[in-house]
Chains A and B, each alone.
Chain A
Amino acid sequence: MAFTLWDILRNLLLAARWTVLLSIVGFVCGGSLGVLLLMLRVGPNRVLRTAVALHVEVFQGTPLLMQLFLVFFGLPLVGVDVEPWLVAGLALTLSASAYLTEIWRGCVEAIPLGQWDAAASLGLHRLQQLRLVILPQALRIAVAPTVGFFVQLVKSTALTSIIGFDELLKTANVINNATFEPFTVYGVVALIYFALCFPLSSCARLLERRLQGSGGLAT
Chain B
Amino acid sequence: MEYHLEFGWLADSLVAIANGVVITVGLTVATAILGIGVSILGAAGRRSGRAWLRGLVAGYVELIRNTPFIVQMFFIFFGLPSLGIRFNALAAAVLAMTVNLGAYGTEIMRAGLDAVPPGQREAGRALGMHGASIFLLIVLPQALRNIFPALASQIVITMLESAVVSQIAVRDLTYEADLIQSRTFRAFETYLLITFIYLALSVALRRTLRTIGRGLLGKGVG
Contacts and interface: CB of A to CB of B under 8 A. Distances in A.
Of the candidates B62, B71, B74, B161, the one having the most CB atoms from chain A within 10 angstroms of its own CB is B71
Contacts of B69: 155
Nearest to B78: A182
A183 B74 contact: no
A18 interface: no
Of the candidates A58, A157, A189, A201, the one having the most CB atoms from chain B within 10 angstroms of its own CB is A189
Given A62-B160, A73-B188, A181-B82, A186 B75 contact: yes
B191 A193 contact: no
Interface in A31-70: 57-58, 61-67, 69-70
B66 A63 contact: no
Contacts of A79: 1
Contacts of A25: none
Interface in B173-195: 174, 177, 181, 187-188, 191-192, 194-195
Contacts of B82: 181-183
Interface residues of A, number: 39
B133 interface: no
B91 interface: no
A151 B64 CA distance: 12
Nearest to B162: A63
Of the candidates B75, B177, B203, the one having the most CB atoms from chain A within 10 angstroms of its own CB is B75
A16 B204 CA distance: 38
A123 interface: no
Contacts of B164: 63, 65, 159
Given A197-B67, A201-B65, A186 B188 contact: no
A82 to B, nearest CB: 11
A70 B192 contact: yes
What secondary structure prevails in chain B residues at the interface with A?
Answer: helix
B202 A198 contact: no
A194 B62 CA distance: 9
B74 A65 contact: no
A180 to B, nearest CB: 9
Nearest to B181: A73
B78 A58 contact: no
Interface string A153-185: 001111101100000010010001000011101
A74 interface: yes
A118 interface: no
A70 B71 contact: no
Contacts of B48: none
A145 B66 CA distance: 15
A193 B68 contact: yes
Given A66-B163, A70-B188, A193-B66, A183 B80 contact: yes
Contacts of A193: 66-68, 71
B70 interface: yes
Nearest to A180: B82
A158 B187 CA distance: 22
A187 B74 CA distance: 10
29 contacts: A61-B160, A61-B198, A61-B199, A63-B160, A63-B162, A63-B164, A63-B174, A64-B160, A67-B195, A73-B181, A77-B188, A155-B66, A155-B68, A155-B69, A158-B70, A159-B68, A159-B164, A169-B74, A182-B74, A182-B81, A182-B82, A183-B79, A185-B79, A187-B75, A189-B71, A190-B67, A193-B67, A198-B62, A201-B62
Given A61-B199, A77-B188, A197-B67, 19 more contacts: A61-B198, A61-B203, A62-B199, A63-B161, A63-B195, A63-B198, A64-B163, A70-B191, A70-B192, A77-B3, A158-B71, A159-B68, A172-B74, A176-B78, A182-B75, A182-B79, A194-B63, A198-B66, A201-B62
Q: Would you list the 8 A-B pairs with minimal beta carbon distance, nearest first? A: A63-B163, A182-B78, A197-B66, A158-B68, A183-B82, A155-B68, A73-B187, A183-B79
